[in-house]
A = this chain, B = another copy of it.
Amino acid sequence: MILTVTLNTALDITYRVRNLRPHGTHRVTEVTERPGGKGLNVARVLAALGHEVTATGFVGGATGRAVQDQLTRTPGVVDALLPVEGATRRTIAVADTASGDTTQLNEPGPLIASAEWSAFQEAYADLLRSASAVALCGSLPPGLPVGAYAGLIRTARTLGVPVLLDTSGEPLRRGVAARPDLVKPNADELAELTGSHEPSRASRDARRRGAQAVVASLGPDGLLAHTPEGHWRATPPRRFRGNPTGAGDSAVAGLISGLIDRLPWPDRLARAVALSAATVLTPVAGEFDREVYEDLVGRVVVTGEVTAA
């Protein structure tokens, strides 16, 4: 199975409101709730692609129960989330039906006790023994050491399980130094890590810092990959407009899926770009338009070159 790790799971709530005004009182006309946190989105996309997936991380409180209730109804995802004392955070997206704007309110997440973190590390090592790959995704909840992902990467490497990291800031910097098989930063995260706003140069720098492969997401322009086997650029046949939330998570799912299916890099990148574009066309992270995906996957333009052996 593929293991996804979401240390800061979320209950993603979307409100429809007409004309959001600070200091006003607003009647919410529509409420939707989804399990959230990048790793859970990745898990849902992988399951929809037909992979066996196990989702782990932390979950707690009434919001955590709501996340687990919905995850139970997602076929193909095994729930291995660890209960904690604190409550799973909510994220609230207030979609203004008048302006089309979305305003985001993100709770910080529960404070994780050191005993809870120790219990997680043990459970994680056990799960890795039956994993063919692992994706570590998203922000860290309060209370975890900033090197949390670095430790999880070392455990995966010790057990010979390919490990992908998708996070930002200092947890990304520490994680990269622990030599993950793959990181998938966006352009801003890559610039913050390396100081360079030129994605190719920044990707090469991230590899020198420890990442074995770097796939940078360039938004509607697709993906840029720097790997030991070569470097490529993968571009969708046209730009897609819609809701970019979850597009990066779908790219992660595509990359992991391609790794498990032993696809060559250009095909992995095509799968990731097509999934990403097909996610932009759906209103919800962790879901994609299957027809668009199947239509696009053969039409992604991949250019680049293989590294001389």
Contacts and interface: CB of A to CB of B under 8 A. Distances in A.
Interface of A: 15, 17, 20-29, 31, 61-63, 65-66, 69, 92, 94, 96, 99, 101-108
A106 B66 contact: no
A230 B255 CA distance: 78
A30 B63 CA distance: 16
Task: Please give the count of copies of this chain that the complex contains.
Answer: 2
B23 A101 contact: yes
Given A62-B62, A102-B23, A28 B94 contact: no
B22 A103 contact: yes
Given A62-B62, A69-B62, A92-B92, A28 B105 contact: yes
A104 B28 CA distance: 10
A32 to B, nearest CB: 11
A61 B67 CA distance: 12
B106 A28 contact: yes
Contact of A103 (B15, B23, B29, B65): B23
A25 B94 CA distance: 10
Given A27-B108, A29-B108, A108-B29, A101 B22 contact: yes
A76 to B, nearest CB: 23
Contacts of A22: 20-22, 96, 99, 101, 103
B23 A106 contact: no
A192 to B, nearest CB: 16
A245 to B, nearest CB: 11
Contacts of A17: 105
A107 B102 CA distance: 17
Interface centre among A21, A22, A69, A94 (most CB of B within 10 A): A22
16 contacts: A15-B105, A20-B103, A22-B99, A22-B103, A23-B99, A23-B103, A24-B104, A25-B103, A25-B106, A26-B105, A27-B108, A28-B106, A28-B108, A62-B62, A62-B63, A65-B65
A24 B103 contact: yes
A68 to B, nearest CB: 10
B104 A26 contact: yes
Contacts of A28: 105-108
Nearest to A13: B90
Contacts of A94: 105
A31 B107 contact: yes
Contacts of A31: 107-108
A73 to B, nearest CB: 14
Contacts of A101: 22-23
Given A22-B22, A94-B105, 18 more contacts: A17-B105, A21-B22, A22-B99, A23-B102, A23-B103, A24-B103, A25-B103, A25-B104, A25-B106, A26-B103, A26-B104, A26-B105, A27-B108, A31-B107, A61-B66, A62-B65, A62-B69, A92-B92
Contacts of A106: 25-28
Contacts of A25: 103-104, 106
